[in-house]
Homo-oligomer: A and B are copies of this chain.
Amino acid sequence: MDFATIGGLIIGIGAVIVSFLMEGGHMGAILHAPAMIVVIGGTIGASFITTSIKTILRIPSYLRLALFGSTGDPLAIISMIVKMSEKARMEGILGLENDMKYVRDPFFRKAIQLVIDGTEVTVLRSILETEIAYVEERHKKGIALFQKLGGFSPTLGIIGTVMGLIHTLGNVTEPDKMATAIAGAFIATLWGVALANLVYLPLSDKLRLRHEEELANLDLIMEGVISIQSGDNPRIVTTKLMSFVSPELRKETV
């Protein structure tokens, strides 16, 4: 659970709603279907063209990553690797087979499996680095997708508003109703700008942050597993991996 994301969404959207209600507005005025269709539909359409079906199907997993932030705790990863390195020195590398069931991260599992299979060090490193490169590319496509959503959303809001103005201004015969008609046209702008600035763009930034954390963890796992395979002394493994961690985190372990 990522409290900064959830909290930020609540504070941001909440502030907009509270302000609107304080002014005496009622939510029904904003939940206007045509405005929502043009903004959300148009944004999705434009963003779909810029990307591939594969990236689109990954949207739920991007959202999960941004909202629940399942990137592992580096200290827990280190302690698990150190325990494994002790076991590997005592029982041999095959003894790690039992520990596989505690490892949930698929990259970690794959790395351990390769070690158990007796993969040579240079091959092991090259396989893991390629894997990391593809994870990186996948992340970057997600970050770019939300950036695109955030870029197209306000312009589609403008399209909706201009379309509303063309339609309503052209048909208003009673001047009294013109203000109401103009007000209605602006709902699309509201949706376009609000979705971009309270949802899409912040989520894109959050995904970038997550991306950096996860890459750091993958590097940590790769170095750790290579250390295990090399039969390094567990104390050396700890020192080596701790240098990947910020000084603040290191203090917590003392």
Give the interface of A toward B (CB within 8 A). 3-5, 7-16, 18-20, 22-25, 29-30, 33-35, 37-38, 40-42, 44-53, 56, 130-131, 134, 137, 148, 152, 154-156, 158-160, 162-173, 175-176, 178-180, 182-184, 186-187, 189-190, 193-194, 196-198, 201-203, 205-206, 209, 243, 246-248
Contact = CB atoms under 8 A, between A and B. Distances in A.
Given A8-B48, A166-B184, 14 more contacts: A7-B45, A11-B48, A12-B45, A12-B48, A14-B45, A15-B40, A19-B41, A20-B163, A30-B163, A48-B202, A50-B202, A50-B205, A130-B243, A170-B179
Contacts of A42: 11-12, 15-16, 197-198
Chain A contact residues: helix, strand, loop or mixed: helix
Given A170-B183, A203-B49, A206-B49, A19 B198 contact: no
A45 B190 contact: no
A133 to B, nearest CB: 9
B163 A19 contact: yes
A165 B186 contact: yes
Contacts of A5: 48-49
A46 B186 contact: no
A103 to B, nearest CB: 18
Given A19-B34, A37-B19, A167-B23, A155 B193 contact: yes
A41 B53 contact: no
A162 to B, nearest CB: 5
Contacts of A10: 45
A152 B193 CA distance: 10
Contacts of A180: 169-170
Nearest to A137: B246
B25 A41 contact: no
Contact of A29 (B30, B170, B184, B209): B170
A124 to B, nearest CB: 14
B202 A49 contact: yes
Contacts of A25: 163, 166-167
Please give me the 7 A-B residue pairs with the lowest Cβ-Cβ distance, nearest first: A12-B45, A15-B41, A8-B48, A49-B202, A8-B49, A50-B205, A11-B45
B29 A197 contact: no
Nearest to A196: B155
Nearest to A13: B45
